[in-house]
Amino acid sequence: MGDKDRARTTHEKGDCRRRCNARRVLRLHRAAPMTSLLHLGNIFYLVAYSVRDMMWLRIITVAATLCLIPYYAVREAPLYAPIIWCTLFTLVNVVQIVLLVLQRRPIFLGEEELHLYRTIFRALTPREFGKLLSIAEWKKANVGKMLLEQDEPANELMLIASGQAAVELDGRRVTEVCAGQFVGEMGFLTQQSASARVVAAAQVDYLAWPSSKLRWMLDGAPELHLKFQGVLGSDLVAKLRQGAQSAAHPSLVDALHTAGAE
């Protein structure tokens, strides 16, 4: 091999080495910001694991996955599997964030609903009470209208907001229910036929829950179910106490009914 050939070979090797070095430097320059995204994404994950609020946890997790997707994508050989998984995690968290925002919207209650919440449902959160109202219906009953028939299924659970209703057993009037008291609660709890007949003794405004819908809702919300059972339990205790006082002091019956109507 002549001197010219050796010089040419050496020159070509030098050019090849310089090109390789240039490509290596270019890769390092490209990798530097991508590596920063990897670190930033993991820092976001670390912060997400340390917060308690579910909304912020999901928001920070979305930020972390959005940092990792470019890291996996901008490579000589993109990592498609991690990109797909990060995209799925991001979509799931975005959907959950939207649901949390909808759940945290302010609850606006009417005057009557606010009164019921403060007097009867105060153990519930406003949002839990709003959830109950979403399947309830306001109804009116004139004097003489039957609210509940004896020995018939209790298809509705009713809460009297104003007025009075007479409770009749085998055609005999035994007691009355008034504002703030439930009608059909025993049938709702036991899923059996009503043990008495309930008739409006005055104009009655009341909330009515379809029993099947209410059971379905409560079955899907154990905490709300427990609180609602407590509300019904308090109502039953108050009725038993009222019955005991009426039996011991018959002269107080009219006073109790008047106070309940007010």
pLDDT mean values, one per 10 residues, the chain (262 residues): 51 53 48 72 90 91 92 83 92 93 80 90 89 92 90 90 89 86 89 88 92 92 92 87 62 46 42
pLDDT of 253 reads: 46
pLDDT of 24 reads: 52
- Single-letter amino acid, residue 234: S
CATH number of the domain that 156 lies in? 2.60.120.10
Domain boundary among the residues 56, 80, 103 is at 103
- Single-letter amino acid, residue 35: T
Q: Which domain holds residue 38?
A: 3-103
What confidence tens digit (pLDDT) does each residue in 54-76 have? 999 999 999 999 999 988 888 77
Residues 59 and 157 in one domain: no
Q: Is 204 buried (19+), middle (13-18) or exposed (0-12) by CB count in 10 A?
A: buried
pLDDT of 213 reads: 93
pLDDT of 19 reads: 58
Residues 91 and 156 in one domain: no
Phi/psi-derived region of residue 105, left when phi > 0, alpha when psi is between -120 and 50, beta in every other case = beta
Residues 228 and 190 in one domain: yes
Residues 87 and 150 in one domain: no
Domain boundary among the residues 48, 72, 103 is at 103
Residue 82 CA to residue 69 CA, distance in Å, equals: 8
Residues 248 and 126 in one domain: yes
Backbone angles phi, psi at 39, to 5 degrees: -65, -40
Q: Which residues contact 125 (CB under 8 A, 6 or more apart)?
A: none
Domain boundary among the residues 103, 131, 161 is at 103
State the Rg of the chain over Cα: 35
Residues 205 and 248 in one domain: yes
Residues 86 and 180 in one domain: no
Do 207 and 161 form a contact (C-beta atoms < 8 A)? Answer: yes
Residues 139 and 37 in one domain: no
Global pTM reads 0.61
Q: Which two tokens stand for residue 243?
A: 């019955």
pLDDT of 173 reads: 84
Residues 74 and 97 in one domain: yes
User: Into how many domains does the chain fold?
Assistant: 2
